[in-house]
Amino acid sequence: MSKKVWEQPKLEVLDV
Amino acid sequence: MSVSMIQLEDLIQQEQGNLVSDMDGEKVMMSISSGKYFNLGSMGGVIWESIAPGQTVKQLIDDLTDRYEVGREECQTQVLGFLQQLKQEGLISLRHS
């Protein structure tokens, strides 16, 4: 089974 | 402000009182307690959904390295940083197992 592409996880605080 | 380091054997728990929604493949969240909105992105959303009750940080990283094309060290560094952010914003809590 092929693995999925990894991306760096980021937490963005939205200015709402 | 002192920040306690996250240990691999720490148990992760999602904090209650967050409204979670999917938006264009990204996980968006609102904290009822702080009134802040957050975008966890696609990978952050995967991690959020992977947090199971009674799971340790190490088990979470094991699960991610099994499913994703990423080295153990890189995954651990990035996930620990991300969990630290979630903890600082009060979205998760960690306790020593």
The pLDDT value recorded for residue B51 is 92
The pLDDT value recorded for residue B96 is 73
What residues have CB less than 8 Å from B70, skipping those under 6 apart? A6, B64
Which residues does chain A have with pLDDT short of 70? 1, 15-16
> Parallel, antiparallel, or unpaired: how do β-strands B26-31 and B37-40 relate?
antiparallel
Give contacts of B41 with chain A, Cβ < 8 Å: 7, 9-12
B12 in A contact zone (CB under 8 Å): no
Region B2-14: mean pLDDT is 81
B47 in A contact zone (CB under 8 Å): yes
Longest dimension (CA), chain A: 41
Residue in B39, B50, B65, B89 to test binding to A, most A beta-carbons within 10 Å: B39
pLDDT digits (tens, 9 = 90+) for B54-67: 889 999 999 999 98
Does position B1 have pLDDT exceeding 50, yes or no?
A: no
Give contacts of B39 with chain A, Cβ < 8 Å: 11-12, 14
- Length of chain B in residues, anyone? 97
Rg of chain A over all Cα atoms, to the nearest angstrom: 13
Weakest mean pLDDT among B16-25, B38-47, B63-72, B83-92: B16-25
Q: Which two tokens stand for residue B3?
A: 């920040």
